[in-house]
Amino acid sequence: MKPILAGIIFLLAATPASAVGLRAVIRDCGADGKAHCEGVGYGAPMQACLARHKNKLSPACRAIIDRLEKGEEVEVFG
């Protein structure tokens, strides 16, 4: 197998099947985070707080939280 093809296969295998882009998280959950989780911090604490308030979230943010709860990861450089 040629080195380039092997490298592409390796990258595809190492990339999660699906991920939530950080920009989408900020766009869709920024206002909900400020409204329901002010001062909580970023990352896992914010995700947990938003999950606790899921019934109060905008539909777009709720969809993001649903995806994260199903195991998708936040992709920072996507």
Query: Taking 80 as the threshold, does the pLDDT of residue 13 lie above it?
Result: no
| pTM given for the model | 0.75
Task: Report the run of H or E that residue 75 belongs to, with start and end.
Answer: strand 73-75
Residue 12 lies in a domain: no
The structural domain count of the chain equals 1
Q: What is the pLDDT of residue 50?
A: 97
Residue 48 lies in a domain: yes
Residue 6 lies in a domain: no
Residues of the domain holding 64: 19-75
| Tokens (6 digits) for 20 | 């939530």
Rounded Cα distance between 20 and 28, Å, is 11
Residue 14 lies in a domain: no
Residue 13 lies in a domain: no
Residue 29 lies in a domain: yes
